[in-house]
Chain A
Amino acid sequence: MKGSLLQRMDLWVRHLLPFGLTLLLVLLQAMPTRLPGFAAVAPMLPLIGVYYWSIHRPDLLPAPVAFVLALVNDIIAGTPLGVTPLVYLMVLGMTGSQRRFFLGKPFLVAWWGFALVASAAMAVEWALVSMIFGHMLEPHAVLFELIMTVSFYPLLSWFFARTQLALLRPA
């Protein structure tokens, strides 16, 4: 009996992984990097987590969890409250409908998919923030941020894949 409880706890902790890792990215992104010029184009790391897990284990990153992550991200990053939740939900919606297409496809396809999803996400965030502030934001910086985010995808998705292989069964 005790064994089964332990097993359940173990499984529960493992199932928290996608949430925990994405939350870690939110915190990691907040770290002052002390690299000249980096802050202006800092990549949106949690977006990679949301995309990866919503394709590989959508059951462990349901919409309410993504919503909470996004709220924490808004509060830590200082973006207007509600913008990131909408963006993450949109990402979930996009990957949810195209999941069968992405699963089991070579890495390049997943990367290309992420580039598309991230572009849409950034565009929506840009429009929303511009609307809320009542000023058109410079699209240049957003474009650079998009490029940075997309170029961080291989590293993080490799890390996620290793973690998933070691600690979680594929869905």
Chain B
Amino acid sequence: MKQHSGALGRLATLKQLAHRFAFLSLVMASFALMLLGKADTALVERIRLSVSDAVAPILDVMSRPAGTIAEVVSAVRELATLRAENVRLRDENSKLMHWQAAARQLDNENRALHIQLNFIPDPDPSFITTRVIDDTGGAFVHSMLINSGSRDGVRKGQAVIAGEVMVGRIMEVGQRSARVLLLTDINSHIPVMLETSRAKAILTGDNSDRPRLNMLSPNSNAAPGDRVVTSGHGGAFPPGVPLGVVSSVQDGVVRVEPFVHRHKLEYVTVVDYGLAGILPSDAAAASEGHDR
């Protein structure tokens, strides 16, 4: 009996040791994954994408009720403010009619000048409009998954817009899903300029909802209310896509309030401007080049 319990005890100790060993090796595996993610991004990216492709249909189904609920809520809210909204819209419409006239005139003038200068226009962009299926949120990363991937023509580095305003850029592309890096993320750097003064800068996210302007020349006199648009430098995005307005200038730190409202993003548009992009390390693009 004593022997028996001794054997059992040994077995229990062995089991506990095995547990400890498994636990420790999992901890090591976590560290290894982090290192691997820093060193060999291509491999880690492939792992990420195969899983996110697999869960994309589930996320797609789950994201639909949220959209419906939001629609119902906003419909009720709109009903309450219908009259005031009507007055506002009529007012805005008359203002916009004025702008339309001005825009038509400028458009004609612009076309005439283009012809005179023998101007080579930028290639026409192509669009893919797609659903946002995952917006996990949280303090660490600002990104979302969309429901289109390489089979729909989404490529790494393409610009993502909603309406007319910039949302971010494509960071990873799977078969049927892709990850959008929002312009507020800490890893987002977008070449921009102030619309009126044409002063160049880099819009850098810091995971707050007000990204900052870096590398702005000190005599550019940025003031709150200045519109910020993409500059088109680096070949990633075309020039002139609106991003936001300068919200504060404090101790040389210029912060920008983006036009995009993250919670309103149900559909986004991936735009292919036919530009090479700033991400030459795109494995997919490289292999395509080989095929040709």
Contacts and interface: CB of A to CB of B under 8 A. Distances in A.
Q: Verify that A and B bind, or say they do not.
A: yes
Nearest to A27: B62
Given A34-B66, A42-B138, A141-B207, A75 B26 contact: no
Interface string A18-55: 00000000011111111111111110100000000000
Contact of B23 (A28, A36, A93): A93
Interface residues of A, number: 50
A127 to B, nearest CB: 11
Main secondary structure on B side of the interface with A: helix
B26 A64 contact: yes
A11 interface: no
Given A31-B66, A42-B137, A141 B186 contact: no
A133 interface: yes
A117 interface: no
B227 interface: no
A72 B19 CA distance: 22
A89 B140 contact: no
A38 B209 CA distance: 12
Contacts of B26: 63-64, 67, 85, 89
A120 interface: no
A72 B138 contact: no
Interface stretch (A2-10, A76-84, A108-116): A76-84
A162 B88 CA distance: 51
B208 A32 contact: no
A30 B139 contact: no
Contacts of B32: 82
B7 interface: no
Interface stretch (B52-60, B116-124, B232-240): B52-60
Contacts of B31: 82, 86
Given A82-B37, A89-B23, A145-B139, A32 B134 contact: yes
7 contacts: A32-B144, A34-B263, A34-B264, A38-B137, A39-B262, A75-B55, A76-B59
